[in-house]
Amino acid sequence: MADTNVSQVIQDGGRTAIIKVTTVIGAGTPPPGATVTIVDVSALAADPISKRACTGVTLEKLTIASVGVAVKLEWDATSNVLLFDFPANWTDEFDFTGYGIPNNAGAGKTGDIVATSIPAAAGNTYTIILTVQKLYG
């Protein structure tokens, strides 16, 4: 059985988006686990005034809760760039609202944020909630 990913867009406004993703590791998932797109900028709403598409994000807040699974959070690119690396059984909350964490990926940068799980066993889970400031190209 494959991993189960449930994504919920809590808010998708002109400036800010809040996205929650919960992943349950499936039986037979080979390590390392699957990579899941947490923030897909192409799926976010366009700027309500200029109508320009969202092309990237700056990370403002992050909440993570993992049970039995380590998680790598990365900026998506030709060679992904590590944003955070969380051990298994980790719960924490981070607030970068005062300055934000910009995307520092290089070649092939998509603007997306992805998560890769390193599963220990079927049934392990992680939930990530991100608040991002939307950028328009």
Mean pLDDT by 10 residues, the chain (137 residues): 88 97 80 81 96 97 95 96 95 96 96 88 92 95
Q: Give the model's pLDDT for residue 32.
A: 56
Q: Give the model's pLDDT for residue 118.
A: 84
Give yes or no for a contact between 10 and 109, defined as CB atoms under 8 angstroms apart: no
Q: Give the model's pLDDT for residue 135.
A: 97
Q: Give the model's pLDDT for residue 105.
A: 95
What is the number of domains present in the chain? Answer: 1
Give yes or no for a contact between 83 and 59, defined as CB atoms under 8 angstroms apart: yes
Question: Which domain range does residue 81 map to?
Answer: 4-136
Q: Give the model's pLDDT for residue 30.
A: 56
Structure tokens at 72: 């790598």
Cα torsion 71, 77, 78, 79 to 10°: value is: -40
**What's the predicted TM-score (pTM) here?**
0.92
Give the CA diameter of the chain. 47
Q: Give the model's pLDDT for residue 27.
A: 79
CATH of the domain at 75: 2.60.120.1330
